[in-house]
Structure 1
Amino acid sequence: MTSTTIKCATKTTELKQILALQNLNYVKNLTEEEKNTNGFVTVKHTLSVLEQMNSKTPQIIATNNTNVVGYALVMLPETTSLIPVLAPMFKILNSLTYNNIPVKNYNYYVMGQICISKTYRGLGLFRKLYQKHKEVYKNTYNFCITEVSTNNQRSMLAHQKIGFTTIHTFTDQTDIWNILLWDWK
């Protein structure tokens, strides 16, 4: 296996490959065993949505040659309307505080989804994708927030190893979610 490159997505072909990888790991396309063993993603994007998100803040990808083998999406609070299923999370974020300051008063972004191709798991790409997030965004944003299904134990453990901490848990029509925050300071 040749080496991978971690970078910002700049091409439509890369965004299309994100969508293909996302579809392979979408919760409704996996067996219970696959979900429990490998984790899953719960939101499907469209090319239009990814293009709009990428125009505001570039998405972070892992590539092997020209093939996207992993991604970690960036979503700004002002893009909430692009993915209605995430509206409950953004509404909750507006009601939370961190270090006694309302979260909405910080300059933050949401890591919208992370996924790594099955053949590239266990090679440290999860950590490398997040390291690139920090490298690219630490001078612009105070921190990164994400939400992870309580049923996705693989993802919860991986996020905790990076340094994310749970700041809130809530239930919506689809699942029970942990809101995780990664403070770079």
Structure 2
Amino acid sequence: MIYYKQASSQKELEQILSLQQKNLAKSLATEELENEGFLTVEHSMEILQAMNDECGHIIALEDGKVIGYALCMHPKFADSIEVLKPMFAEINKAVAGKTNYMVMGQICVSKSHRGKGIFRNLYLTMKNKLPEGFDTIITEVDGKNKRSLTAHATVGFETLKIYTSGGKEWHLIILE
């Protein structure tokens, strides 16, 4: 049975990083990148822990093993990961003055568990676990990651804007 909760142990955070390593763009063959989607950002344990301490990451567990996750990234971490700085700058332009949002810092479902509703349930759990006063989730997706763009649209995300940074087209999307 699969259940969803906020990460609460070092072991769970280690499993998040393990799943992340298997799904980074640099770890996948070209065909996998196109068909399965990919991750862009590689987190350190230090930043993953700090983010979790602020707002617990959402994880899907089966038999005690993390099979999916959605990272919660409070806006106070805007300067913590270099590759995400442009995203936060674009968020600030797109939602000027709005502070009641959480950034979904990355979402991933194990290849063996895709297509089973886990993606949708990670977001549903995240919405239900947002800190008091927060009512919006914002994230961005690489324009080449068609699987992720489709999955996000399916759960209700809408495009805030499309912009270019680091030679890539990014889709900044929002779920209210």
TM bucket normalised to smaller: over 0.9
Following the alignment from structure 1 to structure 2, what is the Cα–Cα distance between the partners of residues 35 and 61?
23
Q: Which amino acid aligns with 1:117?
A: S
Query: How far off is 1:139 after superposition?
Result: 4.4
Normalised TM-score (structure 1): 0.92
What is the correspondence of 1:107-118 to structure 2 with a 5 Å cutoff? 107-118=100-111
Asked if the contact 1:61–1:71 (Cα under 8 Å) also holds between the matched residues in 2, the reply is: yes
Following the alignment from structure 1 to structure 2, what is the Cα–Cα distance between the partners of residues 93 and 127?
23
Asked if the contact 1:148–1:155 (Cα under 8 Å) also holds between the matched residues in 2, the reply is: yes
Query: How far off is 1:66 after superposition?
Result: 1.4
Asked if the contact 2:102–2:130 (Cα under 8 Å) also holds between the matched residues in 1, the reply is: no
What is the correspondence of 1:17-96 to structure 2 with a 5 Å cutoff? 17-96=15-94
SS of 1:113 mapped into structure 2: strand
Equivalent position of 1:172 in the other structure: 165
Equivalent position of 1:122 in the other structure: 115
Normalised TM-score (structure 2): 0.96
Q: 1:9 aligns with which of 4, 7, 22?
A: 7
Aligned CA-pair RMSD: 1.1
Query: How far off is 1:105 after superposition?
Result: 2.4
Following the alignment from structure 2 to structure 1, what is the Cα–Cα distance between the partners of residues 156 and 98?
22
Following the alignment from structure 2 to structure 1, what is the Cα–Cα distance between the partners of residues 42 and 87?
16
Following the alignment from structure 1 to structure 2, what is the Cα–Cα distance between the partners of residues 138 and 163?
20
Structure 1 residue ranges, 4+ long, deviating more than 4 angstroms after superposition: none
Question: How many aligned positions are there?
Answer: 176
What is the correspondence of 1:149-164 to structure 2 with a 5 Å cutoff? 149-164=142-157
Decide which moves more: 134-143 or 63-72: 134-143
Query: How far off is 1:140 after superposition?
Result: 2.9
Q: 1:147 aligns with which of 119, 140, 160?
A: 140
Gaps of 5+ in 2: none
Equivalent position of 1:106 in the other structure: 99
Q: Deviations over 1:80-112 (max 9, x none)?
A: 222111000101111123xxxx2x423111001
Gaps of 5+ in 1: none
